[in-house]
């Protein structure tokens, strides 16, 4: 590693629970068992069902959400949209380990960071299947969450508006308030040469930021028409309408539940290759993957420390490290823990991990099987040159966690079977999302730089 950092952490922060990541029990085929018999027995034992997603929104609401999702007018400098970091031509991500927010130019690997700007601390997650009812949290640290009684909690706390339809809508409230992602910094001038009015609003004054965004939108006649069509009978529109529309578009456009794996779980034995079935037996068995990647969503919606190499600027009080979930809870057991992502379409959604530390799926899999070695021998050359100096040495807490997780020994053939299973999670319809791009947006700003 090319930068050394020392931090002091209380012993209590080092006592990470060992019960989170128990290895699955190796499954041996009983005499006379077929692959399908063994695998279906295992799926029944682990209560794995087909993924289903509610996506019955009105076409008018989805059309409004599509316009908003791709329109840079939402950003303080009018230079970045939601789609810049969640682009349909990049599997609803941006293809980068860490995103380049406002001030940047271009898309994907060709994107350049603006002068004087800072990397966004975490990888831009995909937006596939976000309407699945199993989702309990949004963002890598879970700072937007839905409680068992249906209430949604967010960083805005008591300022969180009522009427949000789902977690996806709640999540859409916050990128526009982030100075590095979309809002910009005081003193910024937008692409039209105007002062950035959003950047001058005090941090934490969420209602003022949201009102300013809505004022921009409602000054555009086409947006007024789109809001009126999406919400017939309403005469005044607010940030909840904006958020619900974006959530509806993301769910409607990027829900894919016809992967080979989903068809297999639904009863089609022919949907998977033998290699993928062998990989599934490992995934739900001796490799222990399903201890975190469980259920229909292939995520337990919990937070785990997987000893991922630290790269980027870090976040909050832990910078240059990113303490993850602990920044939200203050609980030492959440140190370096991040939300378990859903694995549907995982082969498309690299780079992988909360900070995009691994640029091939195989490298991510090998790290999961042996996190301590994976971090100790981390190859920085897989990263863009800009990011290579940003990799830090592991902290004492990460090293201790690595020794607790342990190692899963698989043969090379078994690793390839596991990767074949992960490939079966790709819905063929997710391979080409160009149809979700609009021809233009109401602001008239360009879709691409």
Average pLDDT score, the chain: 90
CB 355 within 8 A of CB 323: no
pLDDT top residue among 379 and 376: 379
In this predicted structure, what is the pLDDT of residue 30?
A: 55
pLDDT top residue among 2 and 165: 165
Q: Which long-range contacts (CB under 8 A, 24 or more apart) does 11-15 make?
A: 12/332, 13/326, 13/332, 13/335, 13/397, 14/332, 14/396, 14/397, 14/400, 15/332, 15/333
Q: Does pLDDT of 158 surpass 90?
A: yes
**Of 325, 163, 140, 343, residue with least CA distance to 256:** 343
pLDDT top residue among 319 and 393: 319
Percent of the chain at pLDDT > 90 equals 84
- pLDDT one-digit tens code per residue, 406-436: 789 999 999 999 999 999 999 999 999 999 9
In this predicted structure, what is the pLDDT of residue 127?
A: 97
- pLDDT one-digit tens code per residue, 264-302: 999 999 999 999 999 999 999 999 999 999 999 999 999
Percent of the chain at pLDDT > 70 equals 90
Domain residue spans in the chain?
11-52+258-429, 59-255
- pLDDT one-digit tens code per residue, 54-98: 888 999 999 999 999 999 999 999 999 999 999 999 999 999 999
CATH ID of 59-255, from 1.10.10.350, 1.10.760.10, 3.90.1300.10, 2.60.40.2300: 1.10.760.10
- pLDDT one-digit tens code per residue, 304-352: 999 999 999 999 989 999 999 999 999 999 999 999 999 999 999 999 9
Contacts of 385 (CB under 8 A, 6+ apart): none
The DSSP element (H or E) to which 304 belongs, if any, is strand 303-304
Q: Does pLDDT of 9 surpass 90?
A: no
Q: Does pLDDT of 379 surpass 50?
A: yes
Q: Does pLDDT of 10 surpass 80?
A: no
In this predicted structure, what is the pLDDT of residue 395?
A: 67
Tokens of 208: 């003022």
The stretch 111-121 carries a mean pLDDT of 93
**Of 85, 109, 101, residue with least CA distance to 184:** 101
The stretch 14-42 carries a mean pLDDT of 57
Q: Does pLDDT of 8 surpass 80?
A: no
In this predicted structure, what is the pLDDT of residue 401?
A: 67
CB 306 within 8 A of CB 367: yes
CB 437 within 8 A of CB 305: no
In this predicted structure, what is the pLDDT of residue 32?
A: 57
3-state class (DSSP) for residue 20: coil
Tokens of 52: 């289903």
Q: Which residue has the tokens 């920085």?
A: 380
In this predicted structure, what is the pLDDT of residue 396?
A: 62
**Of 245, 250, 235, residue with least CA distance to 61:** 245
Q: Does pLDDT of 256 surpass 70?
A: yes
Beta bridge partners, 137, equal: 145
3-state class (DSSP) for residue 45: helix
Separation of alpha carbons 342 and 295, rounded Å: 10
Q: Which residue has the tokens 């690997």?
A: 109
**Residue 399: pLDDT band with limits 50, 70, 90:** low
**Residue 392: pLDDT band with limits 50, 70, 90:** confident
Residue 166, Cβ neighbours under 10 Å: how many?
21
Separation of alpha carbons 103 and 114, rounded Å: 4
In angstroms, the Cα distances linking 150 to 8, 236, 298, 303, 356 are 39, 26, 22, 20, 32
In this predicted structure, what is the pLDDT of residue 31?
A: 54
Is the preceding omega at residue 147 within 30 degrees of 0, hence cis?
no
**Residue 26: pLDDT band with limits 50, 70, 90:** very low
CB 325 within 8 A of CB 139: no
Contacts of 109 (CB under 8 A, 6+ apart): 95, 96, 384
Q: Does pLDDT of 18 surpass 60?
A: no
CATH class of this structure's domain 11-52+258-429:
mainly alpha
Q: Say yes or no: do domains 11-52+258-429 and 59-255 share a fold.
A: yes
In this predicted structure, what is the pLDDT of residue 192?
A: 94
In this predicted structure, what is the pLDDT of residue 87?
A: 97
95, exposed or middle or buried, with CB in 10 Å at 0-12, 13-18, 19+? buried
Beta bridge partners, 352, equal: 358
CB 253 within 8 A of CB 66: yes
Separation of alpha carbons 216 and 233, rounded Å: 22
In this predicted structure, what is the pLDDT of residue 390?
A: 84
The model carries a pTM of 0.90
Separation of alpha carbons 102 and 179, rounded Å: 8
């Amino acid at each position: 590693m090319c930068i050394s950092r020392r931090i002091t952490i209380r012993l209590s922060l080092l006592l990470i629970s060992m019960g989170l990541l128990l290895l699955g029990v190796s499954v041996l085929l009983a005499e006379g068992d077929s692959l399908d018999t063994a695998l279906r027995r295992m799926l029944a034992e682990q209560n794995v069902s087909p993924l289903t997603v509610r996506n019955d929104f009105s076409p008018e609401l989805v059309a409004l959400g599509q316009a908003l999702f791709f329109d840079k007018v939402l950003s303080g400098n009018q230079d970045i949209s939601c789609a810049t970091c969640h682009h349909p031509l990049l599997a609803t991500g941006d293809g980068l380990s860490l995103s380049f927010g406002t001030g940047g130019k271009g898309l994907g690997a060709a994107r350049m960071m603006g002068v004087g700007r800072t990397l966004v601390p975490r990888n831009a997650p995909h937006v596939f299947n976000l309407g699945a009812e199993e989702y309990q949290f949004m963002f890598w640290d879970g700072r937007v969450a839905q409680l068992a009684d249906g209430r949604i909690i967010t960083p805005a706390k008591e300022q969180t508006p009522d009427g949000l339809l789902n977690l996806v809508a709640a999540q859409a409230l916050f990128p526009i308030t982030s100075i590095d992602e979309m809002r910009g910094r005081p003193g910024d001038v937008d692409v039209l040469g105007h002062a950035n009015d959003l950047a001058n609003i005090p941090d934490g004054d969420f209602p003022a930021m949201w009102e300013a965004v809505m004022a921009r939108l409602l000054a555009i006649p086409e947006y007024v028409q789109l809001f009126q069509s999406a919400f017939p009978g309403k005469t005044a529109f607010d940030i909840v309408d904006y958020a619900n529309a974006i959530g509806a578009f993301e769910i409607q456009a990027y829900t894919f539940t016809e992967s080979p794996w989903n068809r297999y779980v639904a009863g089609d034995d022919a949907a998977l290759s033998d290699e993928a079935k062998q990989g599934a037996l490992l995934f739900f068995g001796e490799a222990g993957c399903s201890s975190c990647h469980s259920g229909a969503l292939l995520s337990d919606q919990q937070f785990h420390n997987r000893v991922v190499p630290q790269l980027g600027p870090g976040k909050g009080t832990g910078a240059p490290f990113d303490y993850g979930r602990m920044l939200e809870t203050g609980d030492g057991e959440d140190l370096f823990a991040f939300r378990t992502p859903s694995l549907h379409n995982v082969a498309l959604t690299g780079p992988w991990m909360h900070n995009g530390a691994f640029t091939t799926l195989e490298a991510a899999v090998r790290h999961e099987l042996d996190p301590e070695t994976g971090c100790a021998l981390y190859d920085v050359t897989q990263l863009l040159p800009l990011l290579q100096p940003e990799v830090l040495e592991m902290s004492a807490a990460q090293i201790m966690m690595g020794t607790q997780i342990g190692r899963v020994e698989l043969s090379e053939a078994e690793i390839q079977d596991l990767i074949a299973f992960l490939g079966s999670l790709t819905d063929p319809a997710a391979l080409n999302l160009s149809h979700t791009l609009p021809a233009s947006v109401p602001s008239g700003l360009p879709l691409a730089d």
